[in-house]
Amino acid sequence: MTQRTLVILKPDAVRRGLIGEVLGRIERKAGWTIPAMELRTLDQETLEQHYGEHKGKPFYEPLMGFMASGPVVVLVVEGERVIEGVRQLAGPTDPIAAAPGSIRGDFGTIVRENLIHASDSEESAERELKIFFPGRV
């Protein structure tokens, strides 16, 4: 089942020079492709749309500040079961709980700075792709 998902390499991944490391793991999955990708600094409006579901939670404001703190890489990944697949590559939200071998498990320590965002369902992917690549996917 071919799908598309929205991935963000968060500011910590870019600052730490891990773009290649993380992209390499995605690229090496058989048959997956990257139809769109860009380095950009996210504005408040885009972040509010993207993380609207978390508004009001204690981590929301620090998350917004962190996500706007430097450039990110936004990309579309396409291929067989990419929505579940990139979530598996990323690992669970808390990097200490994430297994070694996953992106968050290998490189993260604190929950907020967990290196990567990946859409969590078909509905989220459709919504998020429209926010970050309107008219392109």
Does residue 127 bind ligand IDP (CB under 6 A)?
no
> Is 104 labeled as ligand-binding?
yes
Among 6, 8, 117, 129, binds ligand IDP (CB under 6 A): 117
- Annotated catalytic, 54? no
* Residue span binding ligand IDP (CB under 6 A) among the ranges 18-26, 70-78, 111-119, 125-133: 111-119
Segment 60 to 89, residues that bind ligand IDP, using CB under 6 A: 63
Rounded (10°) angle between helices 19-27 and 82-90: 140
Does residue 93 bind ligand IDP (CB under 6 A)?
yes
Tokens encoding 64: 């917004």
| 88: helix, strand or coil | helix
Minimum CB distance to ligand IDP, residue 106 (Å): 16
H helices within the chain, ranges in order? 11-15, 19-27, 44-50, 60-67, 82-90, 103-107, 122-132
Catalytic residues: 117
